[in-house]
Structure 1
């Protein structure tokens, strides 16, 4: 199963972070609109990522909910009928909820740097160090930590869990 080391953080200075990511990647980044629908499963997380262009991906992943770098194991498959698949999975499993975001993707070495604007939550940065076959988790963590420093992200800005968790927590706090 492929794996990556992930770091997620709240972003307070969107423009500075975006500028640093552009410089480090040598690109303007790729804008990707995404709607993720999460389904009720007994372990891990199952989400359907809809790119809003007729294509999507069904993604299953497992990772610990904790601050800082964490190893994710995942499996993924493409679909050209995200709406139909969403309906079938909703009927079969039930939905946890949805996350809508605009993502700007920059590649820095083997790392995907995502600068995300999440509807209802704000701005975030996510690093995904895509692990090579014989690379240790420690190497992935070291790469993530170095990039975090280079991008000017502080330890206290790190968050745990998925955007879905943050949205659910916000809804609970607001009494929904």
Structure 2
């Protein structure tokens, strides 16, 4: 199963964060609109990501709910019928909740840097260090920590869990 090292943090100044990400990535980033539906499942998280353009992805992932860099294992299957798949999964498993966001994606080395505006929650950043074959978790965590420093992400802004968890907690 593919894996990455992830961190998530609250962003108080999205414009400033974007400036730093543009400088480090040497790009303006790519805007992606996403509507994620989370389904009930016995372990991990299962979500259907609808890109609102007729395409989507069914994503299963497992990661600990801790702040700081953490290993996430995932599997992804593309779909050309997100609404139809949502009906089937909703009927079979039940819906846990939904997250709507606009994501600005920057690529910095082996890391996907997301600047997210999440409906009902505000602004966040995510780092996803895509693990290379034979790369240790410690090496991936070190990449994440160094990038946190370059992007001026302080540890007191780190967030545990998924956006869905924050929404369910009423934050």
TM-score where L is the length of structure 2: 0.99
Query: Which structure 1 residue ranges, 5 or more long, are not aligned?
Result: 172-176
Query: Using the alignment, how far apart are the partners of 2:143 and 2:136 within structure 1?
Result: 11
SS at match of 1:170: coil
Counterparts of 1:45 and 1:12, CA distance in 2: 27
Corresponding residue for residue 34 of structure 2: 34
Provide the rounded CA distance (Å) in 1 between the counterparts of 2:13 and 2:28: 18
Counterpart for residue 80 of structure 1: 80
The answer for the alignment partner of 2:64 in structure 1 is: 64
1:22 aligns with 2:22: yes
Aligned residues: CA RMSD: 0.6
Partner of 1:143: 143
Q: Report the equivalent of 1:154.
A: 154
Q: Any idea what SS the aligned residue of 1:100 has?
A: strand
Give, in whole Å, the separation in 2 of the partners of 1:14 and 1:35.
Answer: 21
Show structure 1 runs of 4+ deviating over 2 A.
Answer: none
Residues 30-75 of structure 1: CA distance to partner in whole angstroms, max 9, x if unpaired? 0000000000000000000000000000000000000100000000
- Flag structure 2 segments of 5+ consecutive residues without an equivalent: none
Give, in angstroms, the shift of residue 155 of structure 1: 0.4
Q: How many Å separate the matches in 2 of 1:140 and 1:128? A: 9
Superposition TM-score, scaled by structure 1 size: 0.96
